[in-house]
A and B are shown apart, each in its own frame.
Chain A
Amino acid sequence: MTVTRAVVVGIGLVALGGGLGYAQGPAASWTQTERGEAWFYQRCSICHMGRIVKDNTYQPMAVPLAGVLEDTSPEREQFVRAYIQQGSLMMPGFRYSFNPEEFDELMAYLKTL
């Protein structure tokens, strides 16, 4: 069977400004949260974000993190920090991966979820 259909579905939006979608300029000038978002996409997204594949959206394999640090107490934040550093049965510990500044950036982003 042959299916014929037409076709142009849109002209791509041109992302302007240093090749960046929303953060602008070199990474050193990104906000703490923007840098943390980059770490999150690099190191956490494979398990903690649902992957969009063509017309379907898949749920993340691991726990979704929306609200995990919303209005959190210092004690709760410390617990989450230690959990990420140590890992769990299903998650590697990240205590060696980030320097302290990068880890603070990651935590700043997690608070926005």
Chain B
Amino acid sequence: MSKRKSLVLTLGALIVVAGLWTAPGQTANGATIAGKVTGADGSPMEGVIVSARASDKSFTTSVFTDGEGDYFFPTLDAGQYAVWAQAKGFEAGRTTAELSRDEVESDFALMPLEDVHQIVKQMSGVEYLASLPQSTPDDKRMVRSFKTNCTGCHTASYPLQNRWDERGWGILVDLMSVYPSSGVPPPAMVPTEERPGNGMILAYRNELAAYLGRSRGDTELAPKLLPRPTGEATQVVITEYDLPRTDQPNHFDNGSDWSMGTPSRFIGRAAHDVWLDSQGMVWMADDMVPERTLAQLDPRTGEVTNYAIADHENKTVGTHSVVVDHTDKVWATGEGNFVMLDANTGELQLFERPAEMTARVGGTLDVDSNGNPWATSLNGVITLDPATGRYTHYEAPPVESDLVCGADCGNWGTYGVTIDRDDNPWFTQPGLDRVVKLDTATRDMTVVYLDPLDLAEATEVDRDRRRNIRANQNAAPPHHKAPRRNAADPNADVVWTALYTADRLARIDTQTGEVSEYELPTPYASPYATAVDKNGNAWITTMNHDALTKFDPETERFTEYRLPTLGTEIRHVQVDNRTDPPTIWAPYNRTNKVVRLQFRTANAEGVTAAR
């Protein structure tokens, strides 16, 4: 790398600090971009995320600066690039680069922001939650109650980038009590006799409105920003692919420019889950975008192909979750039924349940070793024999204690399901704080209950609500755990379960039912889904934290890989074990993107950011 550098500092209203790029000569391995990021005083800045986007490509590549402030991209295709460097609390540095066969050097000097309003807009969900007042037990209880009741469907940064008075926050809490996670607007914006609203949210309504009006109304927050990543957490190449809608362009406010805050999910909601087939093509489930049942991304080109199937009412079937089995059959949960696409032929099939069968195919699924899909369903799980089209439903036993249930003990929700290495499904029931195993040989069910958090700030009011009001993964008292999605290790007797409202990862021994819990390193992260790679590492997505997190069970150490987009809202993660170390994939459910993580280690293969 050439040492010939100079800095151009642009002052004024535009948030531009442009680096002078030079062409030091052709590199052996093709063209790339590299440089150094410093603070205003010239000292190197580690953990700054630098992104590059070619004008003719549909993906953005990002890397971090190291301990010396240096960064470098992998080999990139020739083209006209926008390059920008972002760190929380600083104005972004921006430049452009014409990349041909040479290495281009772009240095940045980042200027600290002085306007608190601009700093706050850059914050992610965990930073907003940490910045809320919480020095007293009462305030701490309200921060947790906000997190457990108001961030089940979206990151905290989305509502908290607003500042309203108590009356205004009350209007929003009322609306959210009747607003479904499907996104279909309710007929009225307030609870009505016909649609009384979520009981748990309404139980906390007045307390939340008063606290938020006081803490996020006429006074600005004192921002508590996360420290930038260091060491191993910076040794990653991140590729974010566009997932174009079928009906209109993706919105330009897409979370890539942190100065705009957290973007709207209005037309950004698309892929919920991803899964790779044997050829490395990425399949995505989508429950929102019109005329799309499944989408396929070619990581080499960024091209997206849409697939659609209609039901007997000629309505395009939307899908929530997807799993590709070992024969490249792409199974998905599709509005009450299983959908299957054969990746070898492109043929789609919809397996409609018998009309008299009330138990529906729910949101998430897994596939057993015989190729039979299993999904969450009414109080339990449902499976299909694809050869006969026959559905079978299994219901979990009623709750055994009066500690958690709600006034109505029936029709509780089931959210996550995974098949362990003995071919037994494990499914979560977040409202009941329990995980259930179905022994497919004996049809016996084993229930694992999770004790509530022992929180000093939780009160008898909270304990009473946990006993008497139905909770779920989206609305719960502050000491609830809400096991959400889970993933079995195919090489061990272990199921990793995300304890959503407790900010913990649970390791469940599939033979003994023994539970070990690990607290995530960033408070309020809200772990949503898990995956397990071939090395036994658990990968975790977090609703309030724009990051993908690895947990190494041998060292019991977490590594958080921050993401370049604000408002990622990742609900699923998958691993590609064909590379070493494995490559990680996840969909952004707020911003029409799919992300790939490749790791820079001494023996890393295939770190080819441009394709």
Contacts and interface: CB of A to CB of B under 8 A. Distances in A.
Contacts of B158: 42
B441 interface: no
Contact of B253 (A16, A41, A51, A93): A41
A43 B162 contact: yes
Interface of A: 1-30, 34-35, 37-38, 41-43, 45-47, 49-55, 58-62, 87, 90-94, 96-97, 99
Interface in B293-326: 293, 295, 302-312, 315-316, 318
A60 B266 CA distance: 12
Given A3-B352, A7-B309, A54-B315, A12 B295 contact: yes
A8 B287 CA distance: 17
A7 B347 contact: yes
B218 interface: yes
A58 B13 CA distance: 41
A12 B306 contact: yes
A99 B163 CA distance: 11
A59 B290 CA distance: 16
B256 interface: yes
A45 B260 contact: no
Interface in B61-119: 82, 84, 92, 94, 117
B259 interface: yes
A92 B15 contact: no
B303 to A, nearest CB: 6
A interface secondary structure, majority = loop
Contact of B169 (A15, A30, A62, A92): A92
B189 interface: yes
Contact of B162 (A41, A55, A92, A99): A92
What are the nearest 9 A-B pairs in CB distance?
A92-B168, A21-B249, A12-B304, A96-B163, A38-B253, A41-B264, A20-B252, A12-B244, A23-B252
Contacts of A51: 183-185, 266
B290 A55 contact: yes
Interface residues of B, number: 92
Nearest to A9: B308
B408 interface: no
11 contacts: A7-B308, A7-B309, A19-B60, A20-B252, A42-B263, A45-B264, A52-B247, A54-B288, A54-B315, A54-B318, A92-B165
B307 A1 contact: no
B251 interface: yes
Given A7-B307, A42-B158, 16 more contacts: A3-B309, A3-B311, A7-B308, A11-B304, A15-B242, A17-B55, A41-B253, A45-B264, A46-B179, A54-B289, A61-B189, A87-B171, A92-B162, A96-B163, A96-B217, A97-B164
A58 B250 contact: no
Contact of B348 (A5, A42, A58, A59): A5
B53 interface: yes
Nearest to B341: A7
A97 B212 CA distance: 13
Interface in B177-197: 179, 182-186, 188-190
A76 B252 CA distance: 30
Contact of B266 (A17, A34, A46, A91): A46
Contacts of A90: 171, 189-190
Nearest to B255: A19
